[in-house]
Amino acid sequence: MDDLLREFLTETTESLSVLDSELVKLEQNPNDPGLLANIFRLVHTIKGTCGFLGLPRLEAVAHASENVLGKVRDGEMVITPTSISLILQALDRIKLLVGQLEATESEPAGEDSDLTSKLNALAEGRADEVAADEAPAEVKAAPVAPEPVVEAPKPAPAPAAKAAKPGKVQSLYERFGGESMVDATIDATFQSVATDAPLKALFEGIDLDLLQGHWRDAVVKALGNINRYKPADLSKLFAPAVARGFGQGQFKALLGHVEGALKMLEVQPDVAAEVQPLFAGIKDDLLAGDKAATKTAVVAKGEGAAGGAVEQAKESTVAGQSIRVHVDVLENLMTMVSELVLTRNQLLQILRSQQESEFAAPLQRLSQVTSELQEGVMKTRMQPIGNAWAKLPRIVRDLSVELHKKIDLQMHGAETELDRQVLELIRDPLTHMVRNSGDHGIEMPADRLAAGKPETGTINLNAYHEGGHIIIEIADDGRGLNVERIKAKALSSGLTTESELDAMPEQQIYQFIFKAGFSTAAQVTAVSGRGVGMDVVRTNIEKIGGTVELRSREGKGTTFVIKIPLTLAIVSALIVECAGERFAIPQMSVLELVRTSSNSEHTIEQINGAPVMRLRDRLLSLVSLRDLLKLSEGGESKQKKDENYIVVAQVGTFTFGIMVDRVFDTEEIVVKPVAPILRHIQMFSGNTILGDGSVIMILDPNGIATAASGERAQGDGIGDAAAANDRAYGDGEKVAILTFRAGDGGPKAVPLALIARLEEFEVEKIEAVGDRRVMQYRGKLMPLIPIEPGYQPLQSGRQPVLVFSDGDRSMGLLVDEIIDVVEERLQIELSASRPGVIGTAVISGKSTELVDAGHYLTLAFGDWFSRGTLTAEKKRQKRLLLVEDSSFFRHMITPVLSVAGYEVTAVDTAKKALDLCERGLDVDVIVSDIEMPEMNGYEFVSAVRGTARWGNLPVLALSSNTAPEHIERGRAAGFDDYVAKSDRDALLASLEQTMANEGDHA
């Protein structure tokens, strides 16, 4: 490609992206002259260059846009959304043309009169016409257009230009090259003026764009073409220069530059001679103001001009201090520096093995210089993140027009710099997320008003550095994630089960939006909702070692937090050894290192062959690097290693441990891609050369996590359960738990509150009915359920049975041995992999499976839960609202209450309960926990007493704290009764009592 064209393409593309955002800004501040001047200048430059390069289509579109902008600048027109839309359309057309130009190196055939005529209509004040058919003009991709349009159809006739046919005598205008040539000449003149210090000083503070424009118009007019030159107040404009002593002599010097420019542009000498005087025609206008304007000039200088002068001067110095360098050059430099760093490391390693060396000092110096060089080169690759944002204002604007929403995009920290490679990689995810926020997050203006929010929604983009990472936050103040919708969608797409969902903290439920094909948008819009998105976003971000987190509050908005490394080229890595091979693990994903051995605090335990480790009251899944990479060689695997190191790594929200044999130190490594022949191995993200010269593979924690968990869903569960930690399950409350042994595997547990009795029966009393076991118990037949299908009960002696009962029905769960009853804080660490188990928790220091009583109840009586409803019908169904932040208790109490004949609605916060009240939910009784985040039970009951709907309802407190003063406080706050959490019977009795009283009152 021609250098000139390449240069033009680079420059135009840059200008276009600036224009996009500037125009959107202009729409918001239509009265900012600086903004307008900048836009005008950019469009003008594009037009000028197009003309110069002989690109008629581009020139025509740019010219028509410039016309409109010119009118605006001259105050003849006001900026309206319509005009901005139209100009944006024109920009899109220019982009399209530029794109094709880039691909084919020539302008595509076709014409743009559809667009230009609209723009011209707008410029001529026929805005109505434009508005009438504002529908986005389809681009006519090279329709039948036998002759490329030479000149743009201008409002004024330009017959000379159109008559550019051989044989005809060409006018001077044509011979000179038309308006674009005039433009080019003037541009070149001013460029050459810029090198002429004394003259340049005189021009300081003058709007050169305006001056150039007027000059061009004057010359074009003088060339006998278009009559649009307005004498205007050029003299006023030029007054500052005149005041500084711009006189005849200086004007001559200026003409000298014109001459130079004409020469430079290789204008035919005869044509140049003819044209030159025409350029001089502006003289009188320029100097006319001479003295008269001096005063104004001083005033102007005192105000805006001074600032403008400074700014312009600053701009030009900045321009002079930067050069354009091709990215390849920088990339190459970076590679070289990376190599240098490696060599340096190698040298240092050698040096360390030598006691005394005369190389020590110079090597230290070399090392330091290398580090500085590395830093310096790194800096050249740094780009402000604003570059990735440049398109966003435009996107948001289009989005708001398309969706009829009002969206305000706020951007902070656009100057935050990061490596361009990283920048490129996050550009698309960012765009997608902002689109999502606009489309899904922000509500319609009416809905917002109804929700008591300002009509205009805000999307806040914030970037900042934090310890070697860059953090990008995308926050909207929209409706927030709808947990129920996500749940429903997760269920319908088979990603999870209802019981799992119930046990999940919200944070974990949110994670579903990162699954492939997951979109809760009720309808697919053109913008988003196709479900190809957040999963790709997450994948892309994780690919570069970043993480995405999300916070959401229903009705308040959603915030995504992206954390990414500053650069990818050189990373710090932990060197580990496994089966005699060394591997590097990027330090970024390493949380901590743990040493395990049989006699230390940490030991590796097994659950069904899967290694786990207890780490600060949490269970950590372990991955054996040896097994994963199939490293074990014959005899080696036989000897059980006593000592292990665990590298605790985090990928997204999934935390896991990698078992390795040894851990060395950390080293700065340069990530090199692996050979194509090895690229399919997902365990490695690259390879590198260590200080000692050996090649080492770099492990990819993402790949390991995927391989380890097989399916990420499970992994998310572990990580999130841990993240949600105390909030979700424990809140520090102790629960009485019965532990027992039954079937294979370790100890099992069930909350004591669910068990009616513990019994031991003679084995002979157990009878078989069909394939079920039953026994006579208290004059009735009681079904006996094995813990798992293949479970063999004892053959002789006494069989321990856990009896679950409800009213007149009982069910027995066969177990081997009852171990103990303990009071423990329950934290479910691992989600269940099979029915009948809620999850795994650490109880009495042992990993214990928590049994899902509900599952066995269903096995015993298929209608256990539905029966509740039947009875309830008989006694007029009571509706009960359960407010309990611990999902464990919600899970446990809800079946108990359902069985007792209540229709239970369970929510996890007092806030949600009150929301339900507002939405008009009718209930008969409320049972609420006391200790809850945000709003506690006391506050809640006071709030309930204040509502019209629920004011007179019975409200029961449910708490683990039953000290008399608490009970007193509860009654004072408005609770009708106060029941201990673990006391199931007391709760039911109290409910019955309360309801009975209520009945009396009614």
Task: Please report, as ranges, the residues that interact with other proteins according to CB under 8 A.
Answer: 331-332, 334-335, 339, 342-343, 569, 581-582, 629-631, 672-673, 675-681, 683-684, 687-689, 693-697
CA distance 727 to 853: 23
Is the Cβ–Cβ distance between 654 and 719 less than 8 Å? yes
CA separation, residue 499 to residues 61, 415, 831, 836, 891 (Å) = 61, 47, 11, 10, 9
Residue 373 or 561 with smaller CB distance to other proteins = 373
DSSP letter (8 states) at residue 178: H
Residue 613 or 705 with smaller CB distance to other proteins = 705
* Cβ-based burial of 578 (10 A; exposed 0-12, middle 13-18, buried ≥19): buried
Indicate the length of the chain as a whole number.
1002
Least Cβ distance, residue 681 to other proteins (angstroms): 5
CA distance 158 to 887: 78
Residue 74 or 692 with smaller CB distance to other proteins = 692
Residue 352 or 680 with smaller CB distance to other proteins = 680
CA distance 841 to 850: 7
CA distance 580 to 550: 41
* Structure tokens, 718: 């572990």
Residue 106 or 637 with smaller CB distance to other proteins = 637
Residue 343 or 482 with smaller CB distance to other proteins = 343
* Strand bridging mode 780-786 / 772-777: antiparallel
Least Cβ distance, residue 591 to other proteins (angstroms): 24
Residue 172 or 674 with smaller CB distance to other proteins = 674
Residue 586 or 970 with smaller CB distance to other proteins = 586
Least Cβ distance, residue 897 to other proteins (angstroms): 53
CA separation, residue 271 to residues 68, 150, 161, 174, 259 (Å) = 32, 21, 17, 10, 12
Least Cβ distance, residue 342 to other proteins (angstroms): 6
Is the Cβ–Cβ distance between 536 and 514 less than 8 Å? no
Least Cβ distance, residue 631 to other proteins (angstroms): 6
- Determine how many CB atoms are found less than 10 A away from the CB of residue 381: 20
Residue 343 or 993 with smaller CB distance to other proteins = 343
Is the Cβ–Cβ distance between 510 and 480 less than 8 Å? no
Least Cβ distance, residue 318 to other proteins (angstroms): 30
Least Cβ distance, residue 660 to other proteins (angstroms): 13
Residue 649 or 860 with smaller CB distance to other proteins = 649
Least Cβ distance, residue 421 to other proteins (angstroms): 9
Contacts 24+ apart (CB under 8 A), 943-951: 943/910, 943/914, 944/913, 944/914, 944/917, 944/974, 945/974, 947/914, 947/917, 949/917, 949/920, 949/922, 950/917, 950/923, 950/926
Least Cβ distance, residue 694 to other proteins (angstroms): 6
- Nearest CA to 549 out of 531, 533, 537, 566 is that of 537
Please state the three-class secondary structure of 337-378 as a single string. HHHHHHHHHHHHHHHHHCCCCCCHHHHHHHHHHHHHHHHHHH
* Strand bridging mode 878-883 / 925-929: parallel
Least Cβ distance, residue 586 to other proteins (angstroms): 17
Residue 86 or 705 with smaller CB distance to other proteins = 705
Least Cβ distance, residue 372 to other proteins (angstroms): 21
Residue 381 or 394 with smaller CB distance to other proteins = 381
- Helix or strand or coil: residue 764? helix
Residue 310 or 681 with smaller CB distance to other proteins = 681
Residue 332 or 952 with smaller CB distance to other proteins = 332
CA distance 832 to 135: 55
Least Cβ distance, residue 470 to other proteins (angstroms): 21
Residue 874's φ and ψ, nearest 5 degrees, are: -60, -45
Q: Which strand (E) or helix (H) includes residue 142?
A: none
Burial 950-978 (b: 16+ CB within 10 A, else e): beebbbbbbbbebeeebbebbeebbbbbb
Least Cβ distance, residue 731 to other proteins (angstroms): 45
Least Cβ distance, residue 316 to other proteins (angstroms): 36
CA distance 512 to 525: 20
Is the Cβ–Cβ distance between 559 and 550 less than 8 Å? yes
